[in-house]
Structure 1
Amino acid sequence: MAYPAEGGRRRRRGETVRAALWTAGAVLLPGIAHLRAGRRVTGAGILGCFLLSAAAAVAAVRTLHDDLAWQAWMVTQPYWVEAASAVAIALTLLWLGVVVRSWQLTRPRPAGRETRVAGTVLLIVLCAAIVLPSVLVVRTAVTARATLSEVFAPAEAAPRDTQEEVDPWQGRTRINVLLLGGDAGHNRYGMRTDTMIAASIEIDSGDTVLIGLPRNLENVPFPEGTELAERYPPPGGFDDLLNQVYQTVAEAPEELAIDPEAADPAADTLKRVIGEAIGLPIDYYALVDLRGFADLIDAIGGVVVPIEDPIRYGRRGEGLLESGERRISGQEALWYGRSRLGSDDYTRMGRQGCLLKYVAEQAEPMTVLRSFEELADAAQRTLDSDVPQSRLPALVDLAEQVSDARMRTLQLSPPQVTTANPDWARIRELVDEAIRDVDDGDTADSDRPEPSPDSPGRQVGEEPVSLDRLCP
């Protein structure tokens, strides 16, 4: 009597294994277990819907694969984020139901204890594998929305018309963005904006002029009618350096800010002050806390930088960036753009412009996508901007053009500018000429002076110079 019992157990185990395989196969091709169990109409319907959905998903991924502008547009639309999360959850629940039903249809009957235990373990494993992608989709959507809300300004309240949808810049030829690096170290009070670069971007081509402002510019003029202009009237004017304007306003925003209701009144005021000073209306600002700048670089896997001469850094010069073309980490990139040991402020300004060029050239869309969560986390901690969320897709599209376009720099530093007593009228002329040179198609640098051999990256002469010439 023992032999038939053992044979029955073997047959049941074999049936359990086959049921497990059909159920596992239903994870990859939902509906096949239903077909195996004779539920042809239901199985064919489930399998057909799955294949159509998979084909649509593949087509969508291929379409959006390298189109960051479309991705940015979708993320900035709350209903798309909510819809993607809801669809992911609904499809996951349906998928789970199909897998559980697949086991019910194919398992041996009657189901013994071993079969029930095996089925429970199998379903837990398969359901976990199905739930994971849905969790990732929802998490990515939530992270994207949180990053946008934290970093960028809310979308404009006014409805966008058809013309704006076609041309988000409404016929403008240039867009001007102020890039600020805030040096809020643990050993100093407040924040100093030691890095100040106005990027003027030609919309059609992406050609860019970087206007570098030294931190030690004095007697900065303030817009007429503002509290700053009344408190610091000429000829004495502002009794500190340009890099102290932000902190001065931050200490008394209600009294000194041009717009106390702005998300960051100090950054908004500095944007307007610099725009007034150089005669270039600034549309938006982006402020990066340099303490977290390294995290942003690390999130994209570092940046390749050619270094002609060794760069020492640290309080006592204990750190060293050796010469040669090498991929540097975020912390090394931070020192590449900050170190003044053995050089000066203006050489550092040149390296900062070069670093922007290298990052723009190397930040590939797929690199950004692969490091999305790391970038989002770093951005929330270190980046602030008044760019409206609704403008982000257009700016992403413009940034892609900039990465392939010409970049030139105009450093407002000696010898062309005397920082202790700047001629602001002449500075406005230099900026205006630099913009007009690019607009008129004047991109030849053959007759312009070479960078000083003692200060790599530093501009010499009053005309803007191609970063390809200044940067190694």
Structure 2
Amino acid sequence: MILAVYLVLIAAAVAAALVAGGDLTMSAAIAVQGRWLLTAAAVAFAIAVLWMTVVVHSWVITRPESAGVGTKLAGGTLVVALCLMIAAPAGAVMYATYTTHDAISSVFGPEPDDPHGELASRWGDDQARVNVLLIGGDSGSNRYGMRTDSMMVASIDIEYGDVVLIGIPRNLENAQFPKGTALAQRFPPPHGFNDLLNEVYQTVAENPRELAFDPTAKDPAADTLKGVIAHLLDIDLDYYALVDMKGFEGLIDAIGGIRVHIDKPIPYGQRGDILEPGDRVLTGNEALWYGRSRVNSDDYTRMGRQGCLIKYVAEQAEPAKILTSFQSLAGAAKQTLRTDIPASRLPAFVALADRVKNEGEMRTFQLSPPQVNTAYPDWKEIQRLVSDAIQEQEGQQGKQGPDTAKGTPKDASSPVPSVGPSGEKQEGGQGVGPAHQDDSQVGESTEWQEHPGQSSPSPTTPGRQVGDAAASLDTLCP
């Protein structure tokens, strides 16, 4: 009877493997669902117990009655060894599923009311896009709190898998808050927030009870920043995903590094290291500096490289690689990633990520000079630019040809709006006054900074904004 049950379980496992084996997206979707993880742990435990029962029972009914002490000791040792051989892989499976389930429970947001379980299977019938705020924090042992130096909105078309990445400068000033909120009362219009946009998170984190939009949220500061940026850009933000930039190393290392193309040397680290030009496979630490370095550069070029990193990860994070590295990924994510995406949404996101990789086009638009004056932002103009970037991509869907499928060529030019009236603060290296500059930027400038009003900019750094329309990451990030 025990052997029959065991054989039934084996047959069921083989059938499941055949069904999911040809569809890695399905396998990944199953792997991120808590109920399947717990089921896998329970099945592994049941199989181990059943098989060990078979081994022990077989020894009991077959051992010689008149066997000597040596024979009994040898037989017992063999039984124990066989049981350990069965228990070891089962224990590994149970540990891996527990680790993954624990990471998913820690990282992802609370489940909404969904009695029919529809969130796990599909997007809403009336939902055309899903918008996610991607946040990179700079917390570390050598600094207080966390600044959100990397902020992007990923607007993803559900049907086509097309993506528009909206790069948001960390140094936007005079952020305005929704009427009636505690932030709006503390920092009223017209001046608004008295610091850079990247300080909103820490400001709320220091006093979430009074300033957070929802003090009961899993991360009140991140939830509030999502609401603030949604208000500033006049866009519905469905979710946020926050990753500590230092912990970003672990995520990249867990998938075996990331391939990038570097046009010019990128200094990084504290010892004068250099990321040399060419096609390279970056480690987690090197990828971190690729996305963070501003030496001989500026915030806006760095924003472009961060957009390129997202493109490279989206292209190279194969489902098979993710599945084989799932445990290390889960451990790294638990330490560095926070999001309000509920775990029940993960299968829908896995399927959408597959569509983005295989069918979609990734475009980027940076809210940077000369399109945007970061010292005196025109929020209505910013909202128009964001809307135009998304609408332009939607207008090309289903009818892309050779000239439109991959966006704006590198050498394309387009009219560039003025950066502001005469007499206002100059953009300079950071687009802000000296009080907001850091040591890495003092005395540095680029051609764009010297000529912010030029009519035909042609930056050469990867991902740097060209013109006032969203450009394809395929052309900006070789």
TM (norm. structure 2) is: 0.84
Matched, 1:452 2:455: no
Q: Distance in 2 between matches of 1:290 and 1:336?
A: 11
With over 3 angstroms needed to count, the CA separation of the structure-2 counterparts of 1:67 and 1:454, relative to structure 1, is closer
Identical counterparts, % of pairs: 54
Residue from 298, 319, 325 that aligns with 1:371 = 325
- The aligned residue for residue 353 of structure 1 is 307
For residue 436 of structure 1, what is the amino acid of its counterpart? Q
For residue 210 of structure 1, what is the amino acid of its counterpart? L
- The aligned residue for residue 125 of structure 2 is 170
Superposition deviation, residue 70 in structure 1: 5.6
Q: Distance in 1 between matches of 2:41 and 2:285?
A: 36
Unaligned runs of 5+ residues in structure 1 are 1-41
Superposition deviation, residue 454 in structure 1: 4.2
Residue from 44, 58, 72 that aligns with 1:116 = 72
Equivalent residue of 2:149, what SS?
strand
Give per-residue Cα distances to partners, 1:39-87, cap 9 Å, x unaligned: xxx7xx83x6544432321221232334445654565344x44443333
With over 3 angstroms needed to count, the CA separation of the structure-2 counterparts of 1:81 and 1:373, relative to structure 1, is closer
Q: Distance in 2 between matches of 1:457 and 1:82?
A: 42
Q: Which moved more, 1:406-415 or 1:385-394?
A: 385-394
Q: Distance in 2 between matches of 1:468 and 1:388?
A: 31
Q: 1:334-413 alignment to 2 at 5 Å? A: 334-404=288-358, 405-413=360-368
Equivalent residue of 2:247, what SS?
helix
Aligned CA RMSD, in angstroms, stands at 2.1
Q: Distance in 1 between matches of 2:82 and 2:27?
A: 33
Give per-residue Cα distances to partners, 1:119-154, cap 9 Å, x unaligned: 122112111110112212222222222111100112
Residue from 461, 471, 474 that aligns with 1:465 = 471
Q: If you compute each CA radius of gyration, which structure gives the higher value, 1 or 2? A: 1
Contact 1:73 1:392 in 2 (8 A): no
Residue from 268, 273, 294 that aligns with 2:223 = 268
Superposition deviation, residue 204 in structure 1: 0.9
- The aligned residue for residue 95 of structure 2 is 139
Contact 1:259 1:265 in 2 (8 A): yes
Superposition deviation, residue 165 in structure 1: 6.5
For residue 307 of structure 2, what is the amino acid of its counterpart? G
Superposition deviation, residue 114 in structure 1: 2.7
- The aligned residue for residue 36 of structure 1 is none
Superposition deviation, residue 98 in structure 1: 1.2
Superposition deviation, residue 255 in structure 1: 1.2
Q: Distance in 2 between matches of 1:311 and 1:157?
A: 48
Q: Distance in 2 between matches of 1:269 and 1:241?
A: 15
- The aligned residue for residue 109 of structure 2 is 153
Q: 1:321-336 alignment to 2 at 5 Å? A: 321-336=275-290
For residue 72 of structure 2, what is the amino acid of its counterpart? R
Q: Which moved more, 1:319-328 or 1:207-216?
A: 319-328
Equivalent residue of 1:285, what SS?
strand
With over 3 angstroms needed to count, the CA separation of the structure-2 counterparts of 1:342 and 1:447, relative to structure 1, is closer
Residue from 238, 257, 262 that aligns with 2:193 = 238
Equivalent residue of 2:295, what SS?
coil
With over 3 angstroms needed to count, the CA separation of the structure-2 counterparts of 1:364 and 1:171, relative to structure 1, is same
Q: Which moved more, 1:355-364 or 1:117-126?
A: 117-126
- The aligned residue for residue 149 of structure 2 is 194
Superposition deviation, residue 432 in structure 1: 0.5
Provide the aligned length of Structure 1 versus Structure 2. 425
Unaligned runs of 5+ residues in structure 2 are 413-456
Contact 1:208 1:408 in 2 (8 A): yes
Q: Distance in 2 between matches of 1:311 and 1:344?
A: 12
Q: Which moved more, 1:60-69 or 1:317-326?
A: 60-69
Matched, 1:418 2:373: yes
Residue from 58, 73, 81 that aligns with 1:102 = 58
- The aligned residue for residue 441 of structure 2 is none
Superposition deviation, residue 350 in structure 1: 0.6
Equivalent residue of 1:192, what SS?
coil
Matched, 1:226 2:232: no
